[in-house]
Amino acid sequence: MIRLRRESKPVFLKNKNDESDAKGIWIGGDHPVVVQSMTTTDTADYEKTLTQVYELAMEGCEVVRCTVQDARDAAGLLHIVKRSPVPIVADIHFDHRMALAAIQAGVAKLRLNPGNIRDYAKTKEVVELAIQRGTPIRIGVNMGSLAPDLEKTMGHTPEAMVESAMRHVQILEDLGHTDIIISLKAHDVLTTVFAYRLMDKRLAERETPYALHLGITEAGMLRDGTIKSSLGLGLLLFEGIGDTLRVSLAADPVEEIPVCWGILKALGLREKGFEITACPSCGRAEIDVLELGRSVEAIAKEYTAPVKVAVMGCVVNGPGESKMADVGVAGGKGKGAIYRKGELVGTFPEERLLGALRLEIEKVIAEQYPDYKHEIQLT
Amino acid sequence: MIRLRRESKPVFLKNKNDESDAKGIWIGGDHPVVVQSMTTTDTADYEKTLTQVYELAMEGCEVVRCTVQDARDAAGLLHIVKRSPVPIVADIHFDHRMALAAIQAGVAKLRLNPGNIRDYAKTKEVVELAIQRGTPIRIGVNMGSLAPDLEKTMGHTPEAMVESAMRHVQILEDLGHTDIIISLKAHDVLTTVFAYRLMDKRLAERETPYALHLGITEAGMLRDGTIKSSLGLGLLLFEGIGDTLRVSLAADPVEEIPVCWGILKALGLREKGFEITACPSCGRAEIDVLELGRSVEAIAKEYTAPVKVAVMGCVVNGPGESKMADVGVAGGKGKGAIYRKGELVGTFPEERLLGALRLEIEKVIAEQYPDYKHEIQLT
């Protein structure tokens, strides 16, 4: 149903100290769209950072980026890369020594705009080491940090972002590095969408279909950031553009992960955990839908199988909506009905409703996902 | 930048007891996309319902729907319509007596699928009274309540929803009622998008470009519902489809309004209040961005002028990002910098930062929005 995905050159991410490839992940090609985030801790404080990496991974984050600003951060990175359950990306601002240290620490990827290093000999040193160690590089252009000359001549436009990124691409290509991923982030949804569309065209024309990392930068606080990212990144993914995504929220980064997954699930691109549909409640509701929904969410946290559950406040839409769900629950006065694919399983008093619902969910999992294990595994 | 809006036949909504048209609103045509919601209270309890109507209106909801299930609700509706600050829509399930009572109560619109009344004489009576009183009708097809024969032959498809809606349209047209709005809600994002696209085509072909009311039904709890609605409704609005929207959340309906506005603002379709961009914070942050962002949000609540504020955790992206904002604030160690369109206004110790920010915001408003009044007005 969704537009065919654009062709892209896959890149493999793996912390270099991992002997096997089991903890590595592909970005691009026909591989699933990858969920990313970034730590907000001081990278030098590696224990604290690792705790956040684990929290992110537990929530479903598949690649984690850490900023590397100084030698203390670089030292911390060594520990993080060794103990991380997921590939680690080093975010380098412009200091080539940090880039070298990060590659040597064995990171799975660098986020680096090579043009920012300014000194060609230093750039060459970094890129050659990256080639030698097989370290892919993401070129990440943000609207807020365009090259001054491009900003002056082209303004804050999608064209300026693409042009800016292509300069960095050219530097890597000239040095023989083509394990490239590109991002073009603006805080404005429309600008971001047009920039990625333009980049898709540009890369297709020059026959270098590098993978694209999607993001809206500085998207905002929890609600606005969720809206802008869902809209902008969702639109691009709907058009087949995007191999990995990061939702930027001014919030605990762990909050970013369910948003990423929500976007991917809504577009049918990936599956993870319950899909809960819940009616918005109205004057017809004979049960507290919000309360019931929260209880179902609490149950959902215990499973990773993709069970569809419909939570309905009354029997008007209840049976209908639950036909499209694996399990449905509709409220009545002091009691509730449970449905299985729209067929009534039974009516239960309110105090027994959740127990009956859980039983039905367990049955669905046993029948539809016989290989499913009731535990959360990280690796 | 956005795709040209589809042509649509505008419909005027107004509570019939209002002598002037001042509190009325147009849906469709070239009029701004309208924000709607629905009360969750018992309509018969009109004081409680009116309180919710006012809460919704204060948040920016422009049309409010109330369910009318029985004579008690219909009696409550009379009071609600008279005292509501915004147009009221009566949601009728199938009882033609409730439809008649709602029209007589002077509602601004009915949500009614005329085919559900089943008795032709009764349907005729309702539609003729609606024509006489100038009451528009929204046909609202939900995937969960398709006509059984269509469900059987066509399944849960966009085509079945469009077909179902067109049957109701035909009934209204045959009786001479063409003040029609149509909605096609599924809980699945892709199905919803394809259904509206199909309806757009179908209406264009038969040259009856009725206005479209967008919604994802039973979208889910707060976060998932926000993601699915932003993605699905945003996609359609981006394509120029949609004249009014309702975000359905299993949450307090007041929560639905900022999501509607967030979608419209992100697409540049409407303006309302501050646009706050905030960096997601990272190991570079020298200030608590989340805390600072929350303070800016608190300030934002006091104004309705569309001021752009950038909240940044450090000086790396701070100056750049704030060029695109009216006012920018970037954190440093124990102090912060304030920017005006990217130009440094000054550096302030942390305890004076918010005061300085507010002062700068007031200046922007005074200069850019001289007609702006620092008070929230409902009508």
Q: Please give the pLDDT value at position B208.
A: 98
Q: Residue A231 and residue B232: Cβ atoms within 8 Å?
A: no
Give the best residue of A152, A230, A333, A339 to mutate against chain B (max B CB count within 10 A): A230
Q: Residue A223 and residue B262: Cβ atoms within 8 Å?
A: yes
Task: Tell me which chain A residues have a C-beta less than 8 angstroms from the C-beta of B256.
Answer: 280
Per DSSP, A253 falls in state: G
With vertex at residue B175, the alpha carbon angle to CA B172 and CA B179, rounded to the nearest 5 degrees, is: 50
pLDDT beyond 70 at A58:
yes
Task: Tell me which chain A residues have a C-beta less than 8 angstroms from the C-beta of B187.
Answer: 277, 310, 321, 324
Residue A54 is inside which H or E element, if any?
Answer: helix A46-59
Structural domain includes residue A375: no
Instruction: Please check whether residues A279 and A218 belong to one and the same domain.
Output: no
Q: Residue A320 and residue B249: Cβ atoms within 8 Å?
A: no
Residues 89..118 of A with a Cβ closer than 8 Å to B: which? 91, 93
**How many separate helices (H) and strands (E) can be counted in chain B?**
12, 15
Least confident among A24-38, A242-256, A304-318, A364-378? A364-378
Q: Residue A283 and residue B231: Cβ atoms within 8 Å?
A: no
Residue A275 is inside which H or E element, if any?
Answer: strand A275-278
Q: Residue B250 and residue A144: Cβ atoms within 8 Å?
A: no
Task: Tell me which chain B residues have a C-beta less than 8 angstroms from the C-beta of A147.
Answer: none
Q: Which of A217, A232, A266 is the last residue of a domain?
A: A266
> How far B39 CA sits from the closest chain A CA (Å)?
6
Close Cβ partners of A51 (under 8 Å, ≥ 6 residues apart): none
> How far B65 CA sits from the closest chain A CA (Å)?
10
Task: Tell me which chain B residues have a C-beta less than 8 angstroms from the C-beta of A324.
Answer: 143-144, 156, 187-188
Q: Which of A234, A266, A298 is the last residue of a domain?
A: A266
Q: How far is CA A268 from CA A41, A206, B83, B324, in A?
A: 33, 31, 45, 35
Q: Residue B190 and residue A146: Cβ atoms within 8 Å?
A: no
Task: Tell me which chain A residues have a C-beta less than 8 angstroms from the C-beta of B267.
Answer: 189-190, 231
pLDDT beyond 80 at A1:
no
Structural domain includes residue B350: yes
Instruction: Please check whether residues A42 and A81 belong to one and the same domain.
Output: yes
Does ipTM exceed 0.90?
A: no
What residue numbers bound the domain in which A146 lies? 11-266
Structural domain includes residue B68: yes
Instruction: Please check whether residues B41 and B165 belong to one and the same domain.
Output: yes
Q: Which of B136, B164, B4 is nearest to B63 (CA)?
A: B136
Residue A21 CA to residue A17 CA, distance in Å, equals: 10
> How far A101 CA sits from the closest chain B CA (Å)?
17
Structural domain includes residue B81: yes
Q: What is the mean pLDDT of chain A?
A: 91
Q: Please give the pLDDT value at position A288.
A: 77
The dihedral built from the CA positions of residue B336, B337, B340 and B346, taken in this order, carries a sign that is positive
Question: What pLDDT digit, counting tens, does each position of B180-237 carry?
Answer: 999 999 989 999 999 999 999 999 999 999 999 999 987 788 999 999 999 999 999 9
Which residue of B145, B146, B248 is in closest CB contact with A280?
B248
Instruction: Please check whether residues B250 and B322 belong to one and the same domain.
Output: no
Q: Residue B236's CB: how many other CB atoms inside 10 A?
A: 21
> How far A43 CA sits from the closest chain B CA (Å)?
6
Which residue of B220, B290, B320 is in closest CB contact with A250?
B290
In tens digits, what is the pLDDT along chain B, a chain of 379 residues?
A: 456 899 999 999 999 998 888 899 999 999 999 999 999 999 999 999 999 999 999 999 999 999 999 999 999 999 999 999 999 999 999 999 999 999 999 999 999 999 999 999 999 999 999 999 999 999 999 998 898 999 999 999 999 999 999 999 999 999 999 999 999 999 899 999 999 999 999 999 999 999 999 999 877 889 999 999 999 999 999 999 999 999 999 889 999 999 999 999 999 999 888 888 887 767 666 777 778 888 888 888 778 788 888 888 876 666 777 777 899 988 877 888 899 988 889 999 988 888 899 899 989 888 888 777 654 444 3
Instruction: Please check whether residues B228 and B90 belong to one and the same domain.
Output: yes
Per DSSP, A137 falls in state: E
Structural domain includes residue A1: no
Instruction: Please check whether residues B220 and B246 belong to one and the same domain.
Output: yes
Let me know: does A306 contact A274? Beta carbons within 8 Å. Answer: yes
Which residue of B221, B223, B278 is in closest CB contact with A220?
B278
Strand ordering across the sheet containing A275-278: A275-278, A308-312, A327-331, A335-340, A343-349
Structural domain includes residue B248: yes
> How far A234 CA sits from the closest chain B CA (Å)?
6
> How far A220 CA sits from the closest chain B CA (Å)?
4
Give the best residue of A218, A272, A323 to mutate against chain B (max B CB count within 10 A): A218
Task: Tell me which chain A residues have a C-beta less than 8 angstroms from the C-beta of B38.
Answer: 280, 282
Q: Which of A208, A242, A266 is the last residue of a domain?
A: A266
Task: Tell me which chain A residues have a C-beta less than 8 angstroms from the C-beta of B248.
Answer: 279-280
Distance of CA B250 to the CA centre of its chain: 16
Structural domain includes residue B186: yes
Instruction: Please check whether residues A181 and A327 belong to one and the same domain.
Output: no
Q: Please give the pLDDT value at position A220.
A: 80
Give the best residue of A38, A59, A221, A247 to mutate against chain B (max B CB count within 10 A): A221
pLDDT beyond 50 at A259:
yes
Task: Tell me which chain B residues have a C-beta less than 8 angstroms from the C-beta of A227.
Answer: 226, 230, 234, 259, 262-263, 266
Structural domain includes residue B31: yes
B93 → chain A, closest CA residue: A316
Instruction: Please check whether residues A217 and A320 belong to one and the same domain.
Output: no
Q: By the CB < 8 Å criterion, does A71 face chain B?
A: no
> How far A59 CA sits from the closest chain B CA (Å)?
15
Size of interface A-B (CB pairs under 8 A): 251
Rounded to 10 degrees, what is the CA torsion of A103, A106, A112, A118?
Answer: -10
Q: Please give the pLDDT value at position A135.
A: 98
Residue B220 CA to residue A266 CA, distance in Å, equals: 11
Which residue of A227, A280, A324 is in closest CB contact with B156?
A324
Which residue of A38, A223, A267 is in closest CB contact with B280?
A38
Residues 309..368 of A with a Cβ closer than 8 Å to B: which? 310-312, 316-317, 320-321, 323-324
Q: Residue A142 and residue B312: Cβ atoms within 8 Å?
A: no
Mean pLDDT, residues A22-42: 96
Q: Residue A368's CB: how many other CB atoms inside 10 A?
A: 12
Mean pLDDT, residues A198-217: 97
Looking at the 3D structure of chain A, how many domains does it have?
Answer: 2
Residue B57 CA to residue B272 CA, distance in Å, equals: 14
Instruction: Please check whether residues B258 and B280 belong to one and the same domain.
Output: no
Instruction: Please check whether residues B122 and B140 belong to one and the same domain.
Output: yes
Q: Residue A234 and residue B230: Cβ atoms within 8 Å?
A: yes
pLDDT beyond 70 at A166:
yes
Q: Please give the pLDDT value at position A379.
A: 36
Q: Which of B187, B135, B144, B189 is nearest to B164 (CA)?
A: B144
Instruction: Please check whether residues B150 and B293 belong to one and the same domain.
Output: no
Let me know: does B77 contact B105? Beta carbons within 8 Å. Answer: yes
Instruction: Please check whether residues A248 and A290 belong to one and the same domain.
Output: no
CATH number of the CATH domain containing A198: 3.20.20.20
CATH number of the CATH domain containing B320: 3.30.413.10
Q: Residue A281 and residue B221: Cβ atoms within 8 Å?
A: no
Residues 248..287 of A with a Cβ closer than 8 Å to B: which? 248-253, 256, 258-259, 262-263, 266-268, 276-285
